[in-house]
Amino acid sequence: MTLSKEQFRERAYAELLDKANIAVDGIRVSDEVAKATGAGVTVKEGGHLQRGGPVVPFSFRTPTGLDVGIRPSPAADYELRHNGRENSFYVTRDGEVVYDKVTFEPRPKYYDYLTSDGRPMKEIVSIVTNGCAAVWYSNECAFKERGEDCLFCGINYRPGDAFLKTPEQIAESVKAAYDEGVGWRVDFTGGVIPERREIEYYSDAIEAIQDTLGRSDLIAAACVAGPRELSNLDRLREAGFSIITMNIEVWDENFFKTICPGKARMVGRENWIKALEYAAELYGAGHVRCNFVTGIEPKFRTLEGVEYLSSVGVVANPNIFHPAPGTPLEGTRCPTAEWNLDLQERVCDIQRRAGLKFEDIINVHPVTTGLFHDFWRIKEELLPGFAPATA
């Protein structure tokens, strides 16, 4: 049966509520079902954030086209299930079907390859969504070394466990992703290393990628701490980066001091905001991103930040707060799905009023497992089900 636009919109919003619940509380995946999906063999498995338990898919796609990240939780109301007769998968909540059929992304072939120095390429570069070749380049953090890391951050490496991927490893792995056609942009993220060394590392890494690919016209994003020397943003642009991410995490000044003590002391809130403003002028609207960890500070404070940043062309990206084990905020309750849905819809509405486009959102943050991406795609009628039926 073909649904009208209104019927499809209603179904998409219903699926989005379930997606929000899964984003907040996770989803059960038994060992048997995890194995049946083919995760790690034919289906793309979860990346660096997955620790322990069975290998599960990175995400699944719902009937209306929403992308849902899989965060296993043995106590969740939602469960991924397998129909053995049809070899298909579906999702239930308390035994009731909520998604009658879900699909998974195929596993990139290069995940089985090694770099020239013997490292598995999937550990160097992972594919998320929309061709994003993601590089978690290091777990080192200059703030943590001073005992001032962000209170929610789960990096928490121990002495001797810090890693730094080499430009050569990254370039080889990116080329493999590009050659296979599963990657067409590069996004760097990681801990915070001292400012000058961070800029030099990024410059070396993108130069290695450019040399290996034989091209300089890359879509490439660098995640950095707000620099005190704004000229460092010029240096990153000159090196070849087209997108900059600087994550302030919370907007309220006092929450910023408490939740992000290193960022507050070593950079300062005013300097961080100045860096975002400068980057938006330098790189252009829709080429600068700022993440918020939502649910730590009052909702209206986060929305104040989204409102201001949107007005200067910075894309605010709301990430749902999940207290990581071993952090000072471990055991803190994430706000409800309804709370998060309300905030994320309002983020979308603020951005649309400010004149941002969905192309800007995808440009700076191509990972469509986020909730506010879906509000954009529903409101702008960008999901496949909105397209008129063809004869």
- Give pLDDT tens digits for 11-20: 999 999 999 9
Q: Which of 106, 125, 147 is the last residue of a domain?
A: 106
pLDDT of residue 156: 60
Please indicate, yes or no, whether residues 41 and 181 belong to a single structural domain of this protein.
no
Please indicate, yes or no, whether residues 42 and 177 belong to a single structural domain of this protein.
no
Please indicate, yes or no, whether residues 217 and 295 belong to a single structural domain of this protein.
yes
Please indicate, yes or no, whether residues 292 and 159 belong to a single structural domain of this protein.
yes
Strand partners, 288: 244
Please indicate, yes or no, whether residues 279 and 338 belong to a single structural domain of this protein.
yes
Please indicate, yes or no, whether residues 270 and 322 belong to a single structural domain of this protein.
yes
In a domain, 211, yes or no: yes
pLDDT of residue 390: 45
Please indicate, yes or no, whether residues 33 and 161 belong to a single structural domain of this protein.
no
* Number of domains the chain contains: 2
Mean pLDDT of all residues in 361-374: 94
Instruction: Take residue 306 and report the two structure tokens written for it.
Output: 């989204």
Please indicate, yes or no, whether residues 185 and 318 belong to a single structural domain of this protein.
yes
In a domain, 78, yes or no: yes
In a domain, 360, yes or no: yes
Please indicate, yes or no, whether residues 64 and 192 belong to a single structural domain of this protein.
no
pLDDT of residue 47: 60
Please indicate, yes or no, whether residues 97 and 152 belong to a single structural domain of this protein.
no
Length, in residues, of the chain = 391
The SS3 call for residue 277 is helix
Q: Which residue has the higher pLDDT, 156 or 306?
A: 306
The SS3 call for residue 72 is strand
- Mean residue pLDDT of the chain comes to 93
pLDDT of residue 51: 55
pLDDT of residue 52: 60
pLDDT band per the 50, 70, 90 thresholds, residue 142 = confident
- Rg of the Cα trace of the chain? 21
pLDDT of residue 140: 81
pLDDT of residue 49: 42
In a domain, 187, yes or no: yes
pTM across the whole model: 0.93
Please indicate, yes or no, whether residues 51 and 128 belong to a single structural domain of this protein.
no
Spatial separation of the C-alpha atoms in residues 137 and 193, rounded to whole Å: 11
pLDDT of residue 325: 85
Mean pLDDT of all residues in 229-248: 96
pLDDT band per the 50, 70, 90 thresholds, residue 185 = very high
Please indicate, yes or no, whether residues 141 and 54 belong to a single structural domain of this protein.
no
CATH number at 152 reads 3.20.20.70
- φ, ψ of residue 186 to 5 degrees: the values are -125, 130
Q: Which of 74, 106, 138 is the last residue of a domain?
A: 106
In a domain, 390, yes or no: no
Spatial separation of the C-alpha atoms in residues 43 and 59, rounded to whole Å: 10
AA letter at 117: D
In a domain, 334, yes or no: yes
Question: What percent of the chain is modeled with pLDDT above 70?
Answer: 95
pLDDT band per the 50, 70, 90 thresholds, residue 131 = very high
In the chain, what is the greatest distance between 2 CA atoms, to the nearest angstrom? 64
Mean pLDDT of all residues in 38-62: 83
Q: Which residue has the higher pLDDT, 67 or 140?
A: 67
| Residue 174 reports pLDDT greater than 70 | yes
The SS3 call for residue 67 is strand
Q: Is the dihedral of CA 288, 225, 127, 180 positive or negative?
A: positive
Instruction: Take residue 12 and report the two structure tokens written for it.
Output: 């998409």
Q: Which of 39, 71, 106 is the last residue of a domain?
A: 106
Spatial separation of the C-alpha atoms in residues 104 and 29, rounded to whole Å: 14
Mean pLDDT of all residues in 194-204: 86
Domain that holds residue 61: 5-106
In a domain, 391, yes or no: no
pLDDT of residue 2: 82
pLDDT of residue 219: 96
In a domain, 17, yes or no: yes
pLDDT band per the 50, 70, 90 thresholds, residue 391 = very low
- φ, ψ of residue 355 to 5 degrees: the values are 95, 5
Contact 219, 186 (CB under 8 A): yes
